[in-house]
Amino acid sequence: MQNFDYWTPTRLVFGRNAIEKLPEALAPYGRRVLLAYGGGSIRKIGLYDRVRELLAGCEVYELAGIAPNPKFAPSVLEGIRLCRAHAIDVILAVGGGSVLDCCKGIAGCARSEGDPWDIITGKQPTTGAVPIVDILTLAATGSEYDNAAVISRTETNDKVAYFSPLVFPAVSILDPTYTFSVSRRQTAAGTADAMNHVMEQYFVGDSTMLNDGFCEVALRSLMANCRKLLANPEDYTARAEMMLCCTYGCNGIYALGNAYGGWPCHGMEHALSAFYDITHGEGLAILTPRWMRHILSEATAPRLAQYGRHVFGVGEGLSDWEAAEKAIQATYDFFASIGIPMHLREVGIDESRIDEMAAHVVADWPDMQTAWVPLGERDIAEIFRASL
C-alpha cells in the first residue's frame, strides 16, 4: 500500500430539490455572482429560471455558451475578464463537466498573477481562486468533486489538465432529476467516462482488497444503472446511483493507497478530442479495449482476469490469459451494447493524423512513460490504429 495525502473539502448536497440549499451555499461568499453555463439545455428543463429566482438578492453576471471540451479562448479568457471587471465573489457553474472545468480555469486565473495559459499549464502558480458553487446536470466527469480541469486550446490542438487545491468546488448541488433529460447517447458516453475513471485507478501495480472491491462494484453499478437508464431515462434511483458513482470518479477515493497507474487512456483520448473535438466518453470507450489488448502479457493477465471474473463474471475455471481475453471482449461488447460507436472512423477520425496525435500524447502526458504498462509513441500509434 502506497502513502497518500488526501483532502476533498467539497460539500455534496445530493438529492431531489437539493437546489433549495443554493442561497445558503452562496451566502458565505458574497452577492456578486458569475453565473456560467453552456447551451440551452438548462433553460429547457426549467433550471435556468429556478436559478435566477433563487439568485434574487444577488448581482448576477452571465457567461453563457461554454462548449464541450471547454476552450481557453474565448470562454476561459472571457470569464477571467468578467470576474475582474465586476469583482465577482463566487462563480455559480450550472452544467456538466465542461462548464465546471471551464469555471475552474477561470477561478484560478482570475485571482492569480501571470499569463493565464501559463497558470493553466502549471508554469506559473495558482495563488488564489474565486470560490465555485456548482449545480450538476450531467453525471460523468466527477469534476464536481475534484480539483482538476481539462482545458483545450484549439489553435495548437492542446488539451491539458489543470490542477490546484484552490479550485475544489465549495459546494456541489447534485439533483439526479436534472439528468432525466440527458440523451441516450450522452448517458452512454458518461457511463463510459466514469467506468474509465475507475479502471485508470484499478489497473495499477499495487492495490488493496478494499479498493479492488470498491472499484469492481462501481463498474458493475455503472453498467447496471446505464442499462436501466437506456430503458427508462427517468428512473430516479438509477440516475442517483449513476451520479454518485460518477462523482467519486476522479478525486481519488476509489483507490486511496493504490499505486498511480498513469491514466493512459485519458492521455490518449485527450489527443483525439483535442484534434477532432469528439465526445470524451466515446473516445475512452473506443480506446479502452484496444489498450487492454495492447498491454496484455503474462504480467498483466492476472489483473485483467480478476477484472473479468469480478466485474463481468467471465473466466471462471479458465487460465488467466483466457479469462483476460474474455474480459477484454466483454468490455468491448458492453460499450457496443449501450450504443457507443466503437470505431474511430465512426466518430470522424481517420488514419491521417495518427502519428501527429501520438507525438502530442507523449508531449502533453508524460505519465505515459511511467504508467502501469509504460507506453511510447509507437505503442500509442498502434493503439490508435487498432481503434480505427
Choices 90-98, 133-141, 238-246, 297-305; region in contact with a second copy by CB under 8 A:
238-246
Q: Tell me the C-alpha distance between 163 and 181, whole Å.
A: 31
Q: Which of 61, 236, 275, 321 binds a second copy (CB under 8 A)?
A: 236
At residue 326, the 3 state secondary structure works out as: helix
Q: Which of 127, 156, 232, 237 binds a second copy (CB under 8 A)?
A: 237
Over the Cα atoms of the chain, what is R_g? Answer: 20
**How many other C-beta atoms lie within 10 A of the C-beta of residue 29?**
19
Q: How far is the CB of 217 from a second copy (least distance, A)?
A: 3
Q: Which of 55, 77, 230, 256 binds a second copy (CB under 8 A)?
A: 256
What character string, x for contact with a second copy (CB under 8 A) and - otherwise, covers 174-193?
A: --x-----------------
Question: With left for phi above 0 and alpha for psi between -120 and 50, is residue 166 left, alpha or beta?
Answer: alpha
Residue 259 touching a second copy (CB under 8 A)? no
Choices 95-103, 151-159, 250-258, 324-332; region in contact with a second copy by CB under 8 A:
250-258
Contact 266, 284 (CB under 8 A): yes
Sites for a second copy among residues 96-135 (CB under 8 A): none
Q: Tell me the C-alpha distance between 156 and 138, whole Å.
A: 28
**Residue 131, preceding peptide bond in cis (omega within 30° of 0):** no
Q: Say which amino acid occupies 358.
A: A
Comparing CB distances to a second copy, the nearer of 98 and 258 is 258
Q: How far is the CB of 10 from a second copy (least distance, A)?
A: 8
Comparing CB distances to a second copy, the nearer of 7 and 56 is 7
Q: How far is the CB of 65 from a second copy (least distance, A)?
A: 32
Residues in contact with a second copy, counted by CB under 8 A, come to a total of 42
Q: Tell me the C-alpha distance between 216 and 237, whole Å.
A: 20
Choices 14-22, 60-68, 265-273, 277-285; region in contact with a second copy by CB under 8 A:
14-22
Comparing CB distances to a second copy, the nearer of 8 and 181 is 8
Contact 302, 205 (CB under 8 A): no
Q: Which of 1, 73, 87, 363 binds a second copy (CB under 8 A)?
A: 1
Comparing CB distances to a second copy, the nearer of 15 and 125 is 15
Contact 259, 206 (CB under 8 A): yes
Comparing CB distances to a second copy, the nearer of 15 and 39 is 15
Q: How far is the CB of 250 from a second copy (least distance, A)?
A: 16
Strands 158-163 and 148-153: antiparallel
**How many other C-beta atoms lie within 10 A of the C-beta of residue 106?**
34
Sites for a second copy among residues 193-232 (CB under 8 A): 208-210, 212-214, 216-218, 220-221, 224-225
Q: Tell me the C-alpha distance between 277 and 100, whole Å.
A: 18
Residue 27 touching a second copy (CB under 8 A)? no
Residue 244 touching a second copy (CB under 8 A)? yes
Q: How far is the CB of 33 from a second copy (least distance, A)?
A: 21
* Phi, then psi, of 132 in degrees rounded to 5: -120, 130
Residue 257 touching a second copy (CB under 8 A)? yes
Q: Tell me the C-alpha distance between 344 and 140, whole Å.
A: 21
Q: How far is the CB of 318 from a second copy (least distance, A)?
A: 21
At residue 153, the 3 state secondary structure works out as: strand
Name the grid cell of 286. 473506443
* Residue position matching grid coordinates 442517483: 240
* Residue position matching grid coordinates 490518449: 268
Q: Which of 60, 67, 253, 342 binds a second copy (CB under 8 A)?
A: 253
Angle between helices 264-276 and 377-386 (to 10 degrees): 70
Residue 233 touching a second copy (CB under 8 A)? no
Positions touching a second copy (CB under 8 A) are: 1-18, 21, 176, 208-210, 212-214, 216-218, 220-221, 224-225, 236-237, 240-241, 244-245, 253, 256-257
